[in-house]
Amino acid sequence: MLIHSGNRDDTETAVTRIDHHDNPIATAPSEQAGRYLDELARQRRQSPHTVSNYRRDLRALDRLIGELPGNVTYRDLRTDHVRRFVIRLHAAGLGGRSLARMLSAWRGFFRWLGMRGEIGANPAEGIKAPRRPHLLPKALSPDEAIHLLEHDGGEDAMELRDQAMFELFYSSGLRLAELVSLDFSCLSDLADGEIRVLGKRGKTRLVPVGKKACEAIRRWAARRAEIARPEEAALFVGRRGARIHPRIVEEQLKKRALAQRSPVGVHPHMLRHSFASHLLQSSGDLRAVQEMLGHSSIASTQVYTHLDFQHLARVYDAAHPRARRKDDGPRGKPGKTG
């Protein structure tokens, strides 16, 4: 199982803190790691984002190996080496989520080396990342989501593009990578209120698109040719006419949230979480939400049932006459009575 979560900036910062040597191996993956990454991209059809994360994690591994005394190779690595690597990275500020992803990358790489007879035992097998608190994904309330999207940017082409992207995030629960990979040709399905999305591992799915999102996309599509290069296939493009970069989408959403005075730091995945939790609150159909999100396992979708319960608990506390008195403390902790 490949783990894609974790903050790449935190990973780079933590590795930089422990990298006190001028390692030639630190700037590029080893020859073996390069072959492994090439196989991930070409044969296993992993996304560019996943391959980029793995490249970063294997570069960190090479830096750590380069700091060991002697000319240590992959074949020489032992479990205690890898365990010390994890301890050092954790001490340098890398969280449990990022370490879990990194260990997954290392295990996969060592497994690949073992299948080719280049190492013996897998030195990362059985090592676990430090436990991390179970955090529920943050979601906007329905009112906050509507307020974020109720923005009149006029007829500026870039504003129309941003509105189309944000409406589509919330309407259909797309991942950031899925949105930026959309091609203009996908609009052939829009007449039926649907759009075809290329998800993880090259799997495609057809997702519904709401009325507001359809209108926003059509308005952007009518102006796209003013900016897009003639040969560009992407639906969403940047100022230079090429496919928009994920970082630009994140930055534009952050600007929108500030302009709308959103109460929380909004990012693309928060709109995906909001889509899922609001849909589940309205329908209660977990399987349908799973299908629309493109989750391969229902377990990934079940986290939204916890968000749904939180919403129901708040509604109960606010509306039920027997729920709480005005002088009550937090749920389950009655306030003091005279």
Query: What tens digit of pLDDT does each residue of 255-264 get?
Result: 999 998 887 7
Q: Which residue in 35, 88, 111, 269 is the catalytic one?
A: 269
pTM of the model: 0.54
Q: Catalytic residue at 74?
A: no
Residues 107 and 163 both lie in one domain: no
User: Is 131 part of a structural domain of the chain?
Assistant: no
* DSSP track, 273-297: HHHHHHHHHHH--HHHHHHHHT-SS
Locate all alpha helices (DSSP H) within the chain, ordered by sequence.
8-18, 31-42, 48-66, 79-91, 96-115, 142-149, 157-172, 176-180, 211-224, 246-259, 268-283, 286-293, 298-301, 303-319
Residues 110 and 154 both lie in one domain: no
Q: Which residue in 63, 97, 161, 200 is the catalytic one?
A: 200
The residue with tokens 């519904």 is 208
Residues 89 and 219 both lie in one domain: no
DSSP classification of residue 95: -
Residues 206 and 307 both lie in one domain: yes
User: Is 190 part of a structural domain of the chain?
Assistant: yes
Residues 184 and 280 both lie in one domain: yes
Query: What tens digit of pLDDT does each residue of 201-255 get?
Result: 777 888 888 889 999 999 999 999 999 999 999 999 999 999 999 999 999 999 9
Residue 167 has what pLDDT?
A: 93
Q: Which residue in 90, 212, 295, 324 is the catalytic one?
A: 295
User: Is 2 part of a structural domain of the chain?
Assistant: no
Q: How many whole angstroms separate alpha carbon 53 and alpha carbon 51? A: 5
Residues 156 and 226 both lie in one domain: yes
Average pLDDT over residues 85-92: 87
Residues 270 and 158 both lie in one domain: yes
User: Is 38 part of a structural domain of the chain?
Assistant: yes
Residue 64 has what pLDDT?
A: 92
User: Is 210 part of a structural domain of the chain?
Assistant: yes
User: Is 128 part of a structural domain of the chain?
Assistant: no
Q: Which of 31-40, 223-232, 277-286 shows the lowest mean pLDDT across its residues?
A: 277-286
User: Is 129 part of a structural domain of the chain?
Assistant: no
Average pLDDT over residues 310-338: 46
Domain boundary among 100, 115, 130: 115
* Helix 286-293 × helix 268-283 angle, to 10°: 150
Q: Which residue in 59, 272, 273, 278 is the catalytic one?
A: 272
Average pLDDT over residues 149-154: 82
Q: Catalytic residue at 304?
A: yes
Residues 147 and 82 both lie in one domain: no
- pLDDT-derived band at 46, boundaries 50, 70, 90: confident
Residue 116 has what pLDDT?
A: 93
Sign of the CA dihedral running 223, 205, 104, 41: negative
- pLDDT-derived band at 323, boundaries 50, 70, 90: very low
Extract the tokens encoding 68.
């060991």
Candidate ranges 42-56, 112-126, 324-338; pick with highest mean pLDDT: 112-126
**Beta strands 204-208 and 194-198: pairing type?**
antiparallel
Q: Catalytic residue at 272?
A: yes
Average pLDDT over residues 45-72: 89
Residue 282 has what pLDDT?
A: 62
Q: Which residue in 175, 224, 256, 278 is the catalytic one?
A: 175
Residue 11 has what pLDDT?
A: 52
Average pLDDT over residues 77-102: 88
Q: Which helix (H) or strand (E) holds 206?
A: strand 204-208
Q: What is the CATH number of the domain that holds 303?
A: 1.10.443.10
Residues 88 and 230 both lie in one domain: no
Residues 52 and 95 both lie in one domain: yes
List the one residue out of 294, 274, 283 whose CA is nearest residue 206: 294
Residues 43 and 83 both lie in one domain: yes
Q: Which residue in 36, 74, 170, 304 is the catalytic one?
A: 304
Q: Catalytic residue at 295?
A: yes
Average pLDDT over residues 177-194: 89
Q: How many whole angstroms separate alpha carbon 20 and alpha carbon 290? A: 46
Q: Catalytic residue at 267?
A: no
Task: Find the farthest-apart pair of alpha carbons in the chain and give their distance in angstroms, rounded.
Answer: 76
Domain ranges, residue 195 = 142-314
Q: What is the mean pLDDT of the chain?
A: 78
* DSSP track, 157-188: HHHHHHHHHHHHHHHH---HHHHHT-BGGGGG
Q: How many whole angstroms separate alpha carbon 87 and alpha carbon 173? A: 37
Residues 174 and 300 both lie in one domain: yes
User: Is 215 part of a structural domain of the chain?
Assistant: yes
Q: Give the count of domains, the chain.
A: 2
List the one residue out of 115, 112, 102, 1 whose CA is nearest residue 58: 102
